Structures are given as C-alpha cells and as structure tokens.
Amino acid sequence: MNLGTLKKSLSNPLAFAGFNIIIIIFLLSMLAPLIAPYDPNFINVKAILLPPSAAHWMGTDGLGRDVLSRMLHGGRISLLVGLVAVGISTAIGIILGSLAGFYRGWVDTVIMRLVDIMLSIPSFFLILAVIAFLTPSIINIMIVIGLTSWMGVTRLVRAEFLSLSEREFVTASRTLGAKNSRLIFTHLLPNSLTPIIVSAVLGVAGAVLLESGLSFLGLGVQAPQASWGNILTDGKEYIQFAWWLSLFPGLAILMTVLGYNLLGEGLRDALDPRSQHK
C-alpha cells in the first residue's frame, strides 16, 4: 500500500477519525512508562476507591492503585495481543488460502473442509476450551487467538487466487514456463493484498475484544499485570459506587475497536473501488 493509497483512504472523514484514534491510543500506550503518573502495581491502602480527582485523573481501584496508570500500561498489553494474534492468523490464512486457491483439487477440498469444521464451532467457546487446558498468559492468549481466527483470511485469499488464476497475465506467465513459486509470489499474492490488509485491520479490533473478554473472565492476562479486561473485572465488584472502574476501560475498548473498524472501512473503499458507496 503506497502513500497515495493511504492518503486516498484517509480522505474519508470516518477513516481519518479512526486513524487518529488508533495513533493516539498507540502513542499513549507505548509511552506509558514515561507518562504514567504512578507505578501501575503500587498498592496504597490510604487511597482505596478514590473517585477521579486532580491527584488521580481516573480514580483508584480496590487496592488503591491509580487507574490511569493501569489503563496506560494495560493498553500496551491489549494492543500487543491484538497485533500479534492477527499476525499469526493472517500468516496461517495466507498460506492455506494460497494452497487451496492455487492447487485446487484435493488440496482445496481438504483445506476448505477444515475451514468449515472450524467455522462450525463458536470461536469464543473454542478459545475458552483451549485456554482451560493451558496456563493463562500473554503468549498463550496471542497464540490461541491467532490459531482460531485464520478461517476468514483463508477464504478471502482462496477466492482472490481463484479469480486471479483466470486472468491473462497469469495465463501468459504459465505459457512462458513460470514456476509455481513465481506465479504465487510475483503475480497472485501481491494482487491479493487488498482483502488481506482490510481483514487484518478489522481483525485487530476483534482480537482486542477477545482478549478483553478472556481477561474479564479471568482466563486472560493475569494480575497484577494490567489489561483493559482485568481492570473491568476489578470494577464489577464495585460497579454500584465506583463507576470509574468500569467506565474508563470500557471506553478504551470501545474507542479502540471503533478506530480499527473505521480505518478498515476506509481502506476497503480506497483499495477496492468495487466496495465504494454509490
């Protein structure tokens, strides 16, 4: 994706808003060690459940920890899980989709039946079942989400390969004796990047939601390490009188998912003219 394409996608006001939201959240999270006012794990029994104030902009939790500091550091974990999990799922989807779309026949049949089986199982419950047998950790969460989220990319890449295989430039390359590897990496895969990029951007939002849900249930990132999901978990016990513990992490998740969805739609319109609204 070149600079011109990015500028075209950002000319969409909603996509531009989504891009800015993502950049702001990313910078705040990456700079957390520098800008967080307190140690996110520092327990202060004299500051338990303080409402938002000048000293604690987002209040404190049930152990007296500063919520703003935990939000900033938790954002690093949530975004890292989302990006790495999507990287894993996208890599698997590209490999399997390329094989299915290029070789067809029994290879296509086996891969697509595997996709059908995976899609028939609700993803969240599949992840819960796998996590139940593993030690909850950041690495395990990233791997499990990535290994259970590749089916959509596989179908997209397969569809693109099937369509592109009938184009004249591919037929001409075959006639000239181009090897399969050259056809895949030089002609087919580069021309299939549009749905892959859009799917990856939208996939980050889904992965962040999954991580937050798992952490909320106690199966994701474990305390004392902060993530938006386990900050929400801490807040549910005090939701009737400590509203800030649920409001701020909920808004962070909402804005992150909204930002990636808006950017994904903008990229889809810019990269694929067929999807533009009339």
pLDDT, tens digit (0-9, with 9 covering 90-100), for 74-120: 998 888 888 999 999 999 999 999 999 888 889 999 999 999 998 88
Helix boundaries (H) for the chain = 3-10, 13-30, 32-35, 67-103, 105-120, 123-131, 138-147, 151-164, 168-175, 180-182, 193-216, 228-236, 244-271
**Count of residues making up the chain:** 278
pLDDT at 70 over 90: yes
Q: What is the largest CA-CA distance in the chain?
A: 78
CA distance linking residue 26 with residue 263, whole number of Å: 14
CA distance linking residue 235 with residue 247, whole number of Å: 9
Q: What is the mean pLDDT of residues 216-239?
A: 83
Mean per-residue pLDDT over the chain, rounded: 85
The confidence score (pLDDT) of residue 275 equals 52
CA distance linking residue 38 with residue 43, whole number of Å: 10
Backbone φ and ψ of 66, nearest 5°: -70, 120
Other C-beta atoms within 10 Å of 38: how many?
A: 18
Q: CB neighbours of 109 closer than 8 A, spacing ≥ 6?
A: none
Model pLDDT for residues 20-53, shown as the tens digit of each residue: 999 999 999 999 999 999 999 999 988 899 999 9
Backbone φ and ψ of 255, nearest 5°: -70, -35
Span 13-34+63-275 CATH architecture: Orthogonal Bundle (1.10)
Tokens of 134: 């593993």
Place of tokens 């390969």: 161
Cα-to-chain-centroid distance, residue 74: 15
pLDDT at 278 over 90: no
The confidence score (pLDDT) of residue 4 equals 60
Q: What is the mean pLDDT of residues 190-194?
A: 83
Q: pLDDT tier at 184 (50, 70, 90 boundaries)?
A: confident
The confidence score (pLDDT) of residue 155 equals 93
The confidence score (pLDDT) of residue 248 equals 92
Tokens of 278: 């009339």
The confidence score (pLDDT) of residue 67 equals 94
CA distance linking residue 276 with residue 278, whole number of Å: 6
pLDDT at 197 over 90: no
Q: What is the mean pLDDT of residues 9-13?
A: 73
Contact yes or no for 222/213 (Cβ under 8 A): no
CA distance linking residue 2 with residue 50, whole number of Å: 48
Model pLDDT for residues 248-273, shown as the tens digit of each residue: 999 999 999 999 998 888 887 776 65
CA distance linking residue 194 with residue 201, whole number of Å: 11
The confidence score (pLDDT) of residue 273 equals 55
The confidence score (pLDDT) of residue 277 equals 46
Nearest to 245 by CA among 259, 258, 222, 226: 226
Q: What is the mean pLDDT of residues 219-235?
A: 83
pLDDT at 276 over 70: no
Domain ranges of the chain: 13-34+63-275
